[in-house]
């Protein structure tokens, strides 16, 4: 079975080290200054968990969702390198928290719904976990999400688990996606500032030969469902 991909430069194959340098995932990226510090002061909007959290977790739950176990066949779709930091309301990193993500394959099918679908990509893991580092950082290799029946806005689900606290959920949306404004869940999140905390760019990775993307999603905990409805 695979082990978690790490984002320390010495733990990755040369190709991934090069990729991470292109993304700027070195220590300098995680230094909070000026406008970036102000950006991190905004609490990330809470978004509902939704109905598709896997009722039974797969055997492979690492942070590389493109390859299942030791298969040599990758999932079909736009490979996305998803990274960020988990921070508290003061902007301090949260270490040793479990970040979980789940989303659809390129057919628009969740892992939890495969039993009801005739077509799905068995090579997509569909769910992954990562334990945040001392700087609060996390990393996943996954697919750019696609829309599916019932939701107009493609999205990736997040659940944050910390010892002694209730799980906290949100969703990551694609900036500029036409379906966002037609999506009921998206419209309920709040004002433009709240939406901005969960709507991020998926940008092409420079010099990628296979059209990989990168998305940066820093999560600042603090907002609750009550905060959202009171805003």
Q: How far apart are CA 152 and CA 82, in angstroms?
A: 21
Helix locations, 64-188, DSSP H: 184-187
Would 2 be classed as within a structural domain?
Answer: no
Helix locations, the chain, DSSP H: 14-23, 34-40, 184-187, 192-196, 225-230
Would 133 be classed as within a structural domain?
Answer: yes
Pairing of strands 79-87, 213-216: parallel
Would 3 be classed as within a structural domain?
Answer: no
Count how many domains the chain has.
1
pLDDT at 125: 98
| CA distance to 8, 26, 49, 182, per residue, from 154 (Å) | 30, 29, 15, 11
Would 134 be classed as within a structural domain?
Answer: yes
pLDDT at 222: 81
Three-state DSSP state, 193 = helix
What's the predicted TM-score (pTM) here?
A: 0.84
Domain that includes residue 53, residue range: 9-230
Return per-residue pLDDT of the chain as tens, 231 residues.
Answer: 576 665 433 333 444 444 444 444 443 444 444 445 555 558 999 999 999 999 999 999 999 999 999 999 999 999 999 999 999 999 999 999 999 999 999 999 999 999 999 999 999 999 999 999 999 999 999 999 999 999 999 999 999 999 999 999 999 999 999 999 999 999 999 999 999 999 999 999 999 999 999 999 999 998 666 555 554
Would 94 be classed as within a structural domain?
Answer: yes
Q: How far apart are CA 205 and CA 144, in angstroms?
A: 13
């Amino acid at each position: 079975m695979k082990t978690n991909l790490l984002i320390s430069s010495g733990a990755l194959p040369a190709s991934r080290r090069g990729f991470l340098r292109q993304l700027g995932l070195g220590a300098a990226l995680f230094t909070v200054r000026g406008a970036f510090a102000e950006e991190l002061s905004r609490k990330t909007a809470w978004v509902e968990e939704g109905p598709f959290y896997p009722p039974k977790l797969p055997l492979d739950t690492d942070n590389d969702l493109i390859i299942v176990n030791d298969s040599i066949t990758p999932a079909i779709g736009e490979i996305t390198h998803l990274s960020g930091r988990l921070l508290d309301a003061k902007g301090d990193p949260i270490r040793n928290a479990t970040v979980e993500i789940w989303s659809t394959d390129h057919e628009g099918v969740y892992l939890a719904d495969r039993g009801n679908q005739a077509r799905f990509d068995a090579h997509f893991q569909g769910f992954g976990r990562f334990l945040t580092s001392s700087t609060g950082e996390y990393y996943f290799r996954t697919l750019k999400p696609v829309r599916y029946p019932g939701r107009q806005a493609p999205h990736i689900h997040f659940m944050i688990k910390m010892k002694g606290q209730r799980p906290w959920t949100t969703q990551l949306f694609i900036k500029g996606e036409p379906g966002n404004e037609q999506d009921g869940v998206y419209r309920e999140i709040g004002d433009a500032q709240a939406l901005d905390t969960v709507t991020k760019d998926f940008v092409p990775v420079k010099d990628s030969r296979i059209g990989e993307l990168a998305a940066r999603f820093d999560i600042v905990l603090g907002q609750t469902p009550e905060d959202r409805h009171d805003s």
